Chain A
């Protein structure tokens, strides 16, 4: 039996176990929407902007540990999706994005709603395809899913000309994807593992620096095992939060520009740095020559190009983080001379030193009684959700306070746009996360500026009856930019004052959602409790201290030890 391209498309999604996709229709992609209407295996969530569809697919994939899928039309649909794709690319998120395209015979003619989306997205996708021949459709989709989820994950885009979707084809038998040019390395080299372990035994001041790769490779348990076995403190990048229990005594919290004092001090003074699935981003390293200057650096990463890109490493290990960590754990388990108690003794002065740093400059803020501190809101959210909520964030101060004060104990519970840092990510991401985990509490920690970048998604949340909660830390500013202006631009608040901010309570209500507001510290808890009790989408408008800053802060380009403190 022959199928149209559109029918084969649906069948191929089913073949890949896809249950939910996010998208927005249009002329070039209408054939697929026609098929979707008859399909009861694949649920389509209609967002109100294509950027939101891609962010939602991003978070859906992250929560589930699967490939997120987004579907948009040609031209403007495709260009609207680009920001979402770029964010997923920089965060190594597995995703397949399908874009409609004008019929093959019109390609290149500047046809109505034609853009060269393959050309546009080349630098922000792991790979992309234009399907010109219907018989290539299914093999291309299979390849795209394979690429998206294996190796260093990332978004893959497939451009689908309208005529390809209408052409009749025979559905090819499912078979494993084999690619001549693509064979990611999963297993670590045993010699490198041994070197890394021997070096670790010599270390007196070791630190683990864990990134998003730990989450992507599901290495939470293995990382925890290694850290505990050898008594090694762990610091995480923004993308790595939840990769190791944040409330554990070995946790140093986040490092880098807004990292904790003790995490940055520990890295600056360590003699052994085990980087796992992290990429020495400039927001993490600060001035590179001052980053872990005294350390032997071991770097585990599945992407060889990440290794020694910004900082020279001593022992590179190209492998999947989970496989490499298992290999290290096994090495220590089999090594008869390894004595965990002796490690504790050897590392004692180091842990004492770290404790001193923690006592000297703990993560904190100046509390006030009559005005809500944004950090206080995040702390309360943590407390009242038992630290078990899935948190998404927008970008800016809200994002950093969420990272600092919601101590993540589980992987796949924190969704943020780390690499691209795109305002407008959090709310659609919360929608995607809630679709993936209907029974979880999902909260977007937002800023008053960012939430307005995708505020239209209230309609999506309502349409899907999602009890997503949005906690707006409303400071009336583009706060993070204002903070830079305060510190480095003589307090000239150029275009960062939100002179008009909508009444978020009324906006929520206009969509049939619930709006709540807190203006005093005493109202914070009741508002959160009420939101958590409500089975509807809720906007919580927290009117917070307007000029609160995020600290510690390492000014851009400075060494990470040169922190501005509270």
Chain B
């Protein structure tokens, strides 16, 4: 099963390689990864998406927790949470396809962020399934390049 795991880490050199080394060394897989500083500049937040059966996920969270630089490990899948991914897509936009591209982007609430003579760069955010859907629809029109970032996630506010 797919799990989104969020890890608060001491913001120190080499910490990221401790995390990725743990995954490669133990044969766990990382589907996506994203890291950046939090409000506290000494702490960074790493979000990763991985998959495995319960025993593997339990090992992953325990091993992450065991890292001396890890402050907190949260398996988001045990909580109510929101998650987002972003993609930049360079898509062909010539006279006869421009309108079609704009319409698709509009439906998915994306944005055109760069306009070239024969192409647009569009920005889309959403869950991984939505990004995939945009890509599938734009592909026949002509995608030239895609850059996607890793998933980021946050727990929802507690009701009541």
Question: Does chain A bind chain B?
Answer: yes
Most B Cβ at <10 Å: residue of A303, A308, A312:
A308
| 9 closest cross-chain pairs (CB), A and B | A305-B62, A127-B68, A123-B25, A181-B71, A305-B66, A304-B62, A122-B21, A305-B63, A182-B68
A:89-133 near B, CB below 8 Å: 118-119, 122-123, 126-127, 130
Q: Within A244-282, which residues are at the interface with B (CB < 8 Å)?
A: none
B14: Cβ under 8 A from any A Cβ: yes
B103: Cβ under 8 A from any A Cβ: no
- A-B contacts, 6 of them at CB < 8 A, read A123-B21, A181-B68, A181-B69, A182-B68, A304-B66, A305-B66
The smallest beta-carbon distance between B119 and chain A, in angstroms, is: 39
CA distance A511 to B5 in the complex (A): 58
Please report which residues of chain A, range 538-565, place their CB below 8 angstroms from some CB of chain B when the two chains form the complex.
none
Is B50 close to A, CB under 8 A?
no
Q: Which of B1-50 contact A (CB under 8 A)?
A: 10, 14, 17-18, 21-22, 25
A312 neighbours in B (Cβ, 8 Å) = 55
* Contact surface of B with A, Cβ cutoff 8 Å: 10, 14, 17-18, 21-22, 25, 55, 58-59, 62-63, 65-66, 68-71
Measured in the bound complex, the distance between the Cα atoms of B72 and A182 in whole Å is: 11
Task: Give the interface size class of chain A.
Answer: 10 to 19
Are A180 and B71 within 8 A (Cβ)?
Answer: yes
Contact A303 B14 (CB under 8 A): no
Knowing A181-B70, A181-B71 are in contact, say whether A304-B65 is a contact too (CB < 8 A).
Answer: yes
Determine the distance from Cα of A122 to Cα of B14 in the docked complex, in whole angstroms. Answer: 10
In the complex, A147 has a CB within 8 A of chain B: yes
- Which residues in A have their C-beta under 8 angstroms from that of B17? 119, 122
A 474-489 binary contact with B (CB < 8 Å = 1; else 0): 0000000000000000
Q: Which residue of the partner chain B has the closest CB to A181?
A: B71
A269 to B128, CA, bound (A): 49
Instruction: Chain A residues near B62: list those with CB within 8 A.
Output: 304-305
A43 at the interface (CB under 8 A from B): no
- Closest Cβ–Cβ distance, residue B4 to chain A (whole Å): 20
Asked if A126 contacts B68 (CB within 8 A), the reply is yes
A361 at interface, CB cutoff 8 A: no
Considering only CB atoms, which chain A residue lies closest to B72 in the complex?
A181
Give the chain A neighbours of B10 by CB distance below 8 A.
180-181
A342 CA / B103 CA spacing, docked (Å): 82
Residue of B nearest to A122 (CB): B21
Q: Which chain A residues (115-161) contact chain B, with CB distance < 8 Å?
A: 118-119, 122-123, 126-127, 130, 147
New A-B contacts (14) at CB < 8 Å, excluding given A118-B14, A127-B68, A181-B71: A122-B14, A123-B21, A123-B22, A126-B68, A147-B68, A179-B68, A181-B10, A181-B68, A181-B69, A181-B70, A304-B62, A305-B62, A308-B58, A309-B59
The listed residue (A127, A181, A182, A305) touching B59 by CB distance below 8 A is A305
Write the chain B residue with the least CB distance to A309: B59
User: Who on chain A is nearest to B59 by CB?
Assistant: A309
Which of A119, A127, A305 has the largest number of chain B CB atoms within 10 A?
A: A305
CA distance A3 to B56 in the complex (A): 49
Q: CB-CB < 8 A to B58: which residues of A?
A: 308
In angstroms, Cα B17 to Cα A182, docked, is 19
Residues of chain A in range 273-321 having any CB-CB distance to chain B below 8 Å? 303-305, 308-309, 312
How far in angstroms is the closest Cβ of chain A from B13? 8
Q: Interface readout for A171-199 with B: 1 if CB under 8 Å, 0 if not? A: 00000000111100000000000000000
Query: How far, in angstroms, from A303 to B59 measured CA to CA in the complex?
Result: 12
A308 to B60, CA, bound (A): 12
Cβ of A309: which chain B residues have Cβ within 8 Å of it? Answer: 59
Given A181-B10, A308-B58, A309-B59: A303 touches B66 (CB 8 Å cut-off)? yes
A181 to B14, CA, bound (A): 16
Q: In the complex, what's the smallest C-beta–C-beta distance from A184 to chain B, in angstroms?
A: 10
A562 smallest CB distance to B (angstroms):
25
Per-residue CB contact flags for chain A residues 443-472 toward chain B (1 = under 8 Å, else 0) read: 000000000000000000000000000000
Question: Which interface residue of A179, A309, A312 has the most chain B CB atoms within 10 A?
Answer: A309
Contact B18 A122 (CB under 8 A): yes
